[in-house]
Structure 1
């Protein structure tokens, strides 16, 4: 962080903002909800007796975590009645603050964020603070205002839940990127056989269309996913569609464009040899926010 004047609340907050945004986003899985939390956190920071705050970073982290937990309890009720599958909002990697460790990068992946939806709010907060930000149990307990044994129990539950949904072995990033590139090339070329060779037997496709134009239930199995992909490609609305590459949530992804309009984000998970999960994110509000963050629209496919 840079050195900023202690008597300038806006400058101090701006100095800590990247880390605070990364924290709020991991807690909520939504860029818009994270922004709401940061706006409220700034108001509280501005109104606080800052002369009595010896460590602004710790104070702000506590406020953002507690606001995030309150927000999470609210949005979880909305997500329970969401039309179809709710998937985390895709975010450009550069917007996520420091990603200096494997744990930090892993914790913003769409796969892990999806798994985090299955945790209780306190379990999610403990996992994020401990795994992504390397907080000690004592510090996490202070942030959440509970005792250390409770924090340890929540972390144990969170790890057990996530370990049941994550691949057993890590995937080499370069190998995964090659699979994404091959997926894009096969999709653009209409190479059904090539796609079939890329997909795992038990591949699952999830789609978040915000209630419009996307499968509301997961599509399971290679043959069904192939038919689903083929149906998307032959849809009249797919005319003139191109794919470009981008790094979203610290992983390579495909952006689906029609002219200058971003239609969807396609995020893939793999075991290093085959694609195991396909996530289509086409909810208009989520896609529109991502599009606004892109500096420019590529004019040709990048494969």
Structure 2
């Protein structure tokens, strides 16, 4: 017979796995911890003695809690980088350590978290549970209220969107990725000269943003001016990852795995001739983002 003390011990053994699942399904450490706490409340209020497989029971509960939370979201996160920095300076949301959350996002895959945000709740759930945690479709199906075959299709559709396989046939993809990788590396190290080697002398940067930024003009002309601004704002690069943007190589800016903006590149003969920085939430929602194979 499970005593309250024994039940709490058993739950604590399951907590790391539940938190890992919830974080990938929700993309927010504070929300993931809320979901785990809700799972504990449901367990402590249940007839624990009738539970034959505690791990499986908790997987179902955490999945349903996360699915409800995903469905309850009225809109995509539209959180600015400045707000993220402010949150970090004051110690993080809900007592969450921002450095801990950034480390967690990196360990999971910051780009993966951003791409998962594009999926419908049931697609995200099916993909995370099956492809990442190897939960059988027969166990996922009742959670998403579909047949196992339909659940398999959900995960398959999500997988195609996440991996972007249809776009990998572009003959210029490898060459363009090398250019963008070099750009991001130079940005992260603040290497002015290296930036000049990948930027066309007449490069044009345009900012697509609903907000006017005093320190970032809406348009910049010339490699020298752009490289100077990039070096000045280089700390942003730590939250950047290379992804496919509408089938072309681009960069997402995603502090803590939360999409803030996208850099869309025009590349000709190995040089970057144009960069469009997109931070307008309406435009970001229209982009198709996918992972690039390593």
- TM bin (shorter chain): 0.5 to 0.7
The counterpart of 1:279, out of the listed 245, 253, 259, is 253
Checking the alignment, whether the CA contact within 8 Å between 2:183 and 2:195 is kept in structure 1 is: no
Query: How far apart in 2 are the matches of 1:156 and 1:58?
Result: 23
Cα distance per residue 1:243-296 (max 9 Å; x no partner): 8xxxxxxxxxxxx4xxxxxx884232279xxx841525289xx9xxxxxxxxxx
Structure 1 residues 199, 47: CA separation in 2 closer, same or farther (over 3 Å shift)? farther
Checking the alignment, whether the CA contact within 8 Å between 2:138 and 2:148 is kept in structure 1 is: yes
Checking the alignment, whether the CA contact within 8 Å between 1:24 and 1:68 is kept in structure 2 is: yes
Determine if the alignment matches structure 1 residue 161 to structure 2 residue 161.
Answer: yes
TM score, norm. by length of structure 2: 0.58
Task: Name 2:45's counterpart in structure 1.
Answer: 47
Determine if the alignment matches structure 1 residue 184 to structure 2 residue 188.
Answer: yes
Determine if the alignment matches structure 1 residue 268 to structure 2 residue 241.
Answer: yes
Q: CA deviation at 1:154?
A: 0.9
Q: Is there any run of 5+ residues in structure 1 with no aligned partner, and where?
A: 100-104, 244-255, 257-262, 287-303
Query: How far apart in 1 are the matches of 2:13 and 2:41?
Result: 16
Query: How far apart in 1 are the matches of 2:55 and 2:80?
Result: 38
Matched position secondary structure for 2:151: helix
Q: Matches of residues 20-169 of structure 1 in structure 2 within 5 Å?
A: 20-75=18-73, 77-79=74-76, 82=78, 95=104, 108-164=108-164, 168=168
Query: How far apart in 2 are the matches of 1:51 and 1:163?
Result: 42
Structure 1 residues 156, 5: CA separation in 2 closer, same or farther (over 3 Å shift)? same
The structure in which a higher percent of residues are helix is: 2
Checking the alignment, whether the CA contact within 8 Å between 2:126 and 2:140 is kept in structure 1 is: yes
Aligned length: 227
Matched position secondary structure for 2:239: strand
Larger radius of gyration: 2
Q: Matches of residues 192-207 of structure 1 in structure 2 within 5 Å?
A: 193-197=193-197
Task: Name 1:15's counterpart in structure 2.
Answer: 13
Structure 1 residues 280, 51: CA separation in 2 closer, same or farther (over 3 Å shift)? closer
